[in-house]
Structure 1
Amino acid sequence: MIQVGVDIGGSHIAACLYDSMDKELILDSRSTLHVDPNWEARRVLDTWSAAISNTISFSQHKVTGVGIAIPGPFDYYEGISRITGVNKYECLYGMNIKNELASRLSMPASQVRFINDASAFAIAVSTIGKAKPFRRCLAITLGTGLGASFIVHRKPVFSDPLVPKSGFLYDQLVEGVMADDLFSTRGLIHLYYIVSGKRASNALEIFQAAKKDPLARKTFQLFGQKLGKFLSPFIEKFGAEVLVLGGNISNAFEYFKDQLIAELPINEVHQSGLMDNAALIGGALLVDDSYYQELSDVIKEM
């Protein structure tokens, strides 16, 4: 069965075919297009459908559906955008994106499915990635913001007394500061400035500097220590057996791994290894009808 996985971000869309038999992406089919989140609605939707169509045209077999990982707020079950007040895709607010894309792609709306991007990442790592051998997993993404998903047997958990409200960690406070402002690119940049007095423009710059600069390495060590202290009570309460990291900051895992693990109640901590492909895989897995049926109640909660 050939499915399409889609990853929609603030400035891009990526689509790729996924072979469910071989459990792998067909990377030659990947189509990535730039999107300005402030474009008018028609241009955004036309660009999204163009990327997906480009990928579908690569397949020599019938494509069974499209699974899309997209940040919220979003009505993932009905496919309606609720994004507002965040200076991106405001033009789509209230629109039924499921119907709009299905019409452009000439496929039934039932074949177009949506999921939160952090949950898509977690589903991928727990289905074919480093968390596959474990029942309970916490998967986080460290990048523009802090994404998180608590997983039990491949299913995200949102309304459970063992997890924070809606399964979010980004809005938790750490000494009066939102976790999203600490465990993200901007948080890392600020920490580097405190440690070194130097200003970096992005996480990659600090990562590259760490190869020679002891202050950049110290920044990552402090970042790992603080992150571990923050995550520890959530991991313990939930009973997570493994922590999996993704996002661009996780590329520097070697520099903060020891400090992170030292603060945690578990030793099973892994970089996802799926690079930028996890959300694509997680999206594609939605096309499996039996799995989507298992997830349907969860998706309604997102």
Structure 2
Amino acid sequence: MIQNDNKHEQTSGAATNNRLAMIQVGVDIGGSHIAACLYDSIEKRLILDSGSTYHVDPNWEPTKILDTWSAAISTTISCSQSKIAGVGIAIPGPFDYYEGISRITGVNKYESIYGLNIKNELATRLGLADSQVRFINDASAFAIAVSTIGKAKTFDRCLAITLGTGLGASFIVNRKPVFSDSRVPEGGFLYNQPVDGVMADELFSTRGLLHLYHIVSGQRATNALEIYQLAKSDPKARQAFQLFGQELGRFLAPFMGKFNAEVLVLGGNISNAFELFKEPLIEELPIEHVYLSGLMDHAALIGGALLVDDEYYGELSDLIKEM
């Protein structure tokens, strides 16, 4: 159902050193996994044969978490025949992205690494300099990828959102996230915006879709995929997606208008069902350019890898301090 939105994401195999190339490592850390992959900065593509994904229990002790993260990254690095330039990591917050210190607490995951300097811990394990390990918010990594080599690359002002277990968002101007501007909410966040007394994260997420399906059908589903599969034959499931799109559009419209966004790009698991809520979503928005990101799960990896470019990171560094 999803097509790649740029040809450079294709791969022909492992990295080679038959030409000058800067090989970067992109990393995506989630609540229960870590994924890593080499990125070729010349051809602007992930080298998918180098990909590694490890399961992580977020309640493990610090050493086991860090050793597992290191093992996944090392596995990917071992696929490169060229020296890697560095590692860029997309990770959810709260996190001190510039210093590389975890501030995650109160969310029942990764509590054990709170206050640890993850930059130093991983650099030591990987045999890299601290400066070669860089971090960014996962939603911002997604947005950077789609605005650099994805659907939004021809637009100056983009809003990129991810729809899954929560609502991720990033406002982008000329490939750079915007956090402190009168035209965007504080921090560039949308998940914590109130909607009739409820946080947007509760509505525009798996929880919100499940709630809508229960309201219209009287039945309960266990996840978004179940509702998507039911939609093939169940009009109530289709109605739930239609309502989801309509309410999402009404929520996003004032933020996009104030920001003068030119394009909206969607990612995350729920966006796999984009065709089921696309029309009611667009009807509520002040723009016509609304796209599903073909980069999907690869976007955070690409966004992380792009941090390794010193010139680009130099442009982003002050912004990353604000995250």
- TM-score under structure 1 normalisation? 1.00
Q: Which residue of 2 aligns with 1:173?
A: 194
Match of 2:64 among 36, 43, 47: 43
Query: Aligned pair 1:144/2:165, yes or no?
Result: yes
Q: Secondary structure at the match of 1:199?
A: coil
Identity across matched positions, percent:
80
Residue deviations 1:40-87 (CA, integer Å, cap 9, x gap): 000000000000000000111111100000000000000000111111
Match of 2:49 among 28, 34, 56: 28
Tell me the equivalent position of 2:5: none
1:255 aligns with 2:276: yes
The yes-or-no answer on 1:111 pairing with 2:120 is no
Q: What is the CA–CA distance in structure 2 between the aligned matches of 1:2 and 1:201, rounded to whole Å?
A: 41
Q: Which residue of 2 aligns with 1:126?
A: 147
Partner amino acid, structure 2, of 1:105: L
Q: 1:198, CA displacement in angstroms?
A: 1.3
Is structure 2 residue 15 aligned with structure 1 residue 14?
A: no
Which residue does the alignment assign to 1:155?
176
* Partner residue of 1:183 out of 181, 204, 213: 204
- What is the TM-score when the length of structure 2 is the normalising length? 0.93
Distance in 2, matches of 1:253 and 1:212, equals 17
RMSD: 0.4
Structure 1 residues 222-276: Cα deviation after superposition (integer angstroms, max 9, x where no partner): 0000000000000000000000000000000000000000000001000011121
Post-superposition Cα deviations, 1:155-212, rounded to whole Å, max 9, x if no partner, equal: 0000000000110000011111110000000110111111111111111111111111
- Inter-partner Cα distance in structure 1 for 2:36 and 2:297: 12
Amino acid in the other structure paired with 2:203:
L
For structure 1, the residue ranges without an aligned partner over 5 or more in a row are: none
Regions of 4+ moved over 4 Å: none
Helix, strand or coil at the partner of 1:118:
helix
Secondary structure in 2 matching 1:243: strand
Counterpart CA distance in 2 for 1:208 and 1:137 is 31
Structure 1 residue aligned with 2:213:
192
Listed as ranges, the gaps of 5+ residues in structure 2 are 1-21
What's the CA shift string for 1:121-148, capped at 9, x where partnerless?
0000000000000000000000000000
Give 1:230's match in structure 2, choosing from 240, 243, 251: 251
Give secondary structure in 2 for the equivalent of 1:133: coil
* Among 313, 316, 321, the residue aligned to 1:292: 313
Match for residue 281 of structure 1 among 292, 302, 315: 302
Classify the secondary structure of the residue corresponding to 1:22: coil
TM superposition shift of 1:14: 0.2
1:219 matched residue in structure 2: 240
**Aligned residue identity for 2:317:** S
Paired residue type of 1:238: F
Cα distance in 2, alignment partners of residues 206 and 132 from structure 1: 32
